[in-house]
Structure 1
Amino acid sequence: MKRPRKKQQMTVYLDPDLFKAVSDMAIHRRQSGSLVVETALSVFFSPEEGTGQAALTRRLDRVDKRLSRLERDTGITVETLAQFIRFWMIMTPALPESSAAAARAQAAERYGGFIEALGRRLATGRRLHEDIQPPDAPSGDTGVL
């Protein structure tokens, strides 16, 4: 039968303020100062696997950054679409009533083709901005803001 691994002792010197913080935390949690330091070091050396408040804060910060980026990108997309629609409406003349019915039929057919093409494109998982790169952009740089 194996004996449990014995912990090894290490002597460290701490700044008085840090020592007080460790002591206060140990008293607050009713644990030894050694366990408080061991837990802090464990979280420090394996930040992705940490389960403490610091790890949770890091994860929430990452989520917040992603949401901020998503909000910014969505705003850019909506503004781009609005500008395109405005430009299209200004530049496209109204059709005479005699050819409006034929234009509507052709528009419905073209819209159906657009929806099919969009579905195929989305099924590939690639996005348009991945295919559009400035000629001088380094590999991996999509040129998107």
Structure 2
Amino acid sequence: MKKAKITAYIDAALFDEIDEMAARRRVPKTQVIEAALASFLSPDSAEQSEAAIVRRLDRLTRSLERLERDQEITTEALALFVRFWLTTTPPLPDDTHAAAKAKGKERYGGFVQTLAKRLAKGSNLTKELSRDLPASAD
């Protein structure tokens, strides 16, 4: 390949860095300068960087969409449960409030324990729904 000669003035510190790089890699200084110029002039590096950023933004967008979907499912499930509970649970007579409060405290403790076990196992409602919905469609 035919090469053209250029003459350029560069900072002495930069020249020393080129000299050190050439010595470390055991290549001529010309090769180090050619590689640096090719890298600097290549539009690919900017395009590759932009493509990497776009891929990362796409992944983040999909992740955010999944979080929004999961939050909607959770909110709807809670709303349905509250509506059902309020509709079907009759008010308690005044003389049973103390017993109901004690039983409620006991049941809440069981709920918290069950929740802790499910979270430790990695179980969650969205995983169960994704397993159950295709089965119920059959």
Within-5 A mapping of 1:14-53: 31=41, 35-37=42-44, 39=45, 52-53=49-50
> SS of the counterpart of 2:92?
coil
Q: How far does the alpha carbon of each residue in 1:34-91 deviate from its partner, in whole angstroms, 9 at most, with x for none?
A: x335x48xx7xxxxxx5x0111111011101110121122012102211210111011
TM-score by length of 2: 0.60
* Alignment pair present for 1:108 and 2:105: yes
Match of 1:89 in 2: 86
Letter in 1 for 2:64: L
Match of 1:57 in 2: 54
State the percentage of identical aligned residues. 44
TM-superposed deviation, 1:129: 4.5
TM-superposed deviation, 1:127: 2.4
More RCO (CA 8 Å, sep 6+) = 2
| Separation in 1, partners of 2:92, 2:56 | 55
Match of 2:122 in 1: 125
Q: How far does the alpha carbon of each residue in 1:1-43 deviate from its partner, in whole angstroms, 9 at most, with x for none?
A: 9866x9xxxxxxxxxxxxxxxxxxxxxx962xxx335x48xx7
1:76 is aligned, of 73, 94, 97, to 73
TM-superposed deviation, 1:99: 0.9
TM-superposed deviation, 1:126: 2.5
Letter in 2 for 1:89: L
Letter in 2 for 1:55: A
Moved over 4 A (4+): 1-4
Change (3 A) 1:30 1:127: closer
Match of 1:47 in 2: none
Change (3 A) 1:54 1:76: same
The structure whose Rg is larger is 2
